[in-house]
A and B are shown apart, each in its own frame.
Chain A
Amino acid sequence: MVKSLKHLLLIAYGITCIYPFLWMFGTSLKTSQDALVNPQSPIPNGALQWGVFAEVWNKLNFAKFFMNSAIVSVAVIVGIIFIYSMMGYSFAKFNYKGKKLVYYTFIALLLVPGVTILIPLYINMTNLGLANSYIGIILPMINGGAPFAIFLFTSYFRTISHELYESAVLDGCGSFKIYYRIYLPLAMPAIGTIAIINFIGSWNNILWPMIIVDTKDFFTLPMGLMYLDSSSFKKWNELMAGAIITIFPILVSFPFLQKMYVKGMTIGSVKM
């Protein structure tokens, strides 16, 4: 009895989690007439309109947007993992002057409101000639991912037994080799978590690309979606097809992401 009540509660919450996605999917398969007249039902009237996807894909250059999003996300993730795992390793393994100052400066960045530094950042990147370029989109996003990545890598490297380090030194390994060959591979769970969080963050980011990019050549998917919204008034079926295209990589990979994420999450939060 208690058990079925528990399931009831968990299922009810599960439905609220899934429903928006059902609606998104159902609406994208409707005719525009049906989507406008029966917006309350996620089930299309009549034949499923798979053609909407192709229409939307070709109407705007979604293939290009997709590529742009992929390039940006991959570069951001790889950059963050390399740059900040090195910093985390340094914070976790060495004693030196100024360590605390640097560490807390970076952590405090977490609270800096993104919108505020957008203005000088925009001016800065434009002066460097990086407006409308991949580098211009990517670098600030890497910097923005710093606090969380540093925090997680530092905590994680601290949990790795120090004897490992000492025996590597005895075997004649230098600091960099120890980082690259031993600590980085051991940090897979932390890398997974950071990769996921920054994948989602950079994939969904609209604010920064919206400001630094003004030609469609460098539009990312979310910008494409906003453009679609402004160019097809109240065509919910098209908008939802665009929305699905936008989050498709997240939707297909989420069970896998979930496993990695849960593994890594316990490092940062519980072992504090």
Chain B
Amino acid sequence: MVTSRNKWVPYLFLLPGVLLFLAIGVYSVGFSVLISFYNWSGIDFANARFEGFDNFKDFLFGQSPVVSRSFYLAIWHNLLMAFFQVIIVIPVALVLAFTLQNMKAASYYRTIYFLPMIASGIAVFYVWKGLFEPTGVLNALLSALGLDLLVMQEGMLGSSSTALMGIIITSIWGGLPGTLLLYYAGLSSVNPTLYEAASVDGATKSVMLRKITWPLLKPITLIAVIQLVNGAFQAFENVFIMTGGGPAGSTEVIGTLVYKTAFIDNDYGLASAIGWTSFLITGLIAIFSIRGFKADI
């Protein structure tokens, strides 16, 4: 670490990034916090009306029952997505990473597993839409397995009882590889002599797992959980393309709710208020998970 002779040198390196941030980030963040206290339908800010906490009361405390209902429903959907992603992705990724460890063909498998991670985007969301069609692959597979009971007449995304499940499946498909590769990289980075030394000292496998492997995997798990939860709370594109929040609001998430409130209903103030509330929730979750894992970043 250096204390530069010319005091302004380190600041000079920050300049381009900070300027861009001031021009784009600060203005947008500040303005968006501001308008969350206004009633504003866009275009000219002179038409905006200051309303204090009215926007927040509307959706948080049920001042406007319709808005409030869709807000809590959307939060609930985000929570479900986060919950199922974490409890499915983390264990499966761990099992696969342990399986992959020390395999000769590991690099081939890894290349294939990388594919969903980088290609999961709009193009693939359309593919999932096709696979979930009433006459699509998923239903065909279910009936081929003799599980006719589970066949969804309207397709997975077409019925309000299964649509969210469809969205979660695609998120897991896209999110698993990243976590798997993180765990795999973590496992491969352990110096093998560490295990040898431990076994010479008479440590059992479970002791080694607890004392060597887990301490290493803990920070990775933390990162993976935060990434998955944050990803689930910022979900937009997959829902927007596959269901648009429907049917009957059954897959509405904060992202699509904010989008619709702002750009379709033109209620910018309310949309900003909802967005910032979800930011606070995501932030709190991140802080709690860091505390919970007692990891220092």
Contacts of A116 in B (CB 8 A): 32, 258, 271-272, 275-276, 278-279
Partner of B14, one of A13, A102, A140, A246: A102
Main DSSP-derived SS at the A contact region = helix
Whether B1 lies near A93 (C-beta < 8 A) is: yes
The A/B interface has a contact count, at CB < 8 Å, of 265
* Residue interface bits A122-163, CB-to-B below 8 A is 1, else 0: 011000000000000001101100100010000000000010
The CA of A207 and the CA of B125, in the complex, are separated in Å by 14
Q: Which residue of B lies closest to A16 (CB)?
A: B173
Does A254 interact with chain B (Cβ within 8 Å)?
A: yes
Which residues B249-264 have CB closer than 8 A to chain A? 254-255, 258-259, 262-263
Contact B279 A269 (CB under 8 A): no
Q: Is A86 an interface residue (CB 8 A)?
A: yes
State which size class the interface on B falls in.
35 or more
Q: Taking the nearest CB of chain A, how far is it from the CB of B205, in angstroms?
A: 15
A265–B25 CB distance below 8 A: no
Q: Which residues of chain A have C-beta atoms less than 8 A from B25's C-beta?
A: 109, 117, 143, 146
Bitwise, B227-248 to A at CB < 8 A (1) or not (0) is 0001001101100110000000
Count how many chain A residues have C-beta atoms less than 8 Å from C-beta atoms of the other chain.
89
A244 lies within 8 A of B123 (CB):
yes
Which residues in A have their C-beta under 8 angstroms from that of B150?
none
Q: Is A118's beta carbon under 8 Å from chain B?
A: yes
Residues in chain A near residue B21, CB distance under 8 A: 106, 143, 146
Query: Among the listed stretches B4-12, B49-57, B159-167, B191-199, which one makes contact with chain A, having 4 or more residues with CB under 8 Å of it?
Result: B4-12
Main secondary structure of the interface of B (DSSP, over half): helix
Query: Is the pair B272, A225 in contact by a Cβ cutoff of 8 Å?
Result: no
Residues of A within 8 Å of B262, CB to CB, are 115, 118-119
Interface flags for B1-44 (1: CB within 8 Å of A; 0: not) read 11110010111011011101101110111111001000000100
Q: When A94-B2, A204-B121, A204-B122 are in contact, do A139 and B112 touch as well, CB less than 8 Å?
A: no
Closest to A114 in B: B234
Q: Let me know if A113 and B279 touch, CB within 8 A.
A: yes
The answer on a CB contact under 8 Å between B29 and A90 is no
Contact partners of A42 in chain B: CB under 8 A:
137
B127-143 CB contacts (< 8 Å) to partner A:
127-128, 130-131, 133, 135-137, 139-141
B177 at the interface (CB under 8 A from A): yes
Interface residue B283 (Cβ < 8 Å from any Cβ of A): yes
14 CB contacts below 8 A, A to B, read: A20-B116, A40-B135, A42-B137, A82-B16, A86-B14, A93-B10, A116-B275, A116-B278, A116-B279, A139-B24, A250-B119, A254-B115, A254-B119, A272-B297
Known: A20-B116, A113-B255. 9 other contacts (CB 8 A): A23-B130, A23-B131, A42-B137, A113-B258, A120-B272, A165-B2, A240-B130, A250-B118, A270-B216
Chain A interface residues toward B at CB < 8 A? 6-7, 9-10, 13-14, 16-21, 23-24, 27, 39-40, 42, 82-84, 86-87, 89-90, 93-96, 99, 102, 106, 108-121, 123-124, 139-140, 142-143, 146, 150, 162, 165, 175, 179, 196, 200, 203-204, 206-207, 211, 222, 225-226, 229, 236, 239-240, 243-244, 246-247, 250-251, 254-255, 257-258, 261-262, 265-266, 269-270, 272
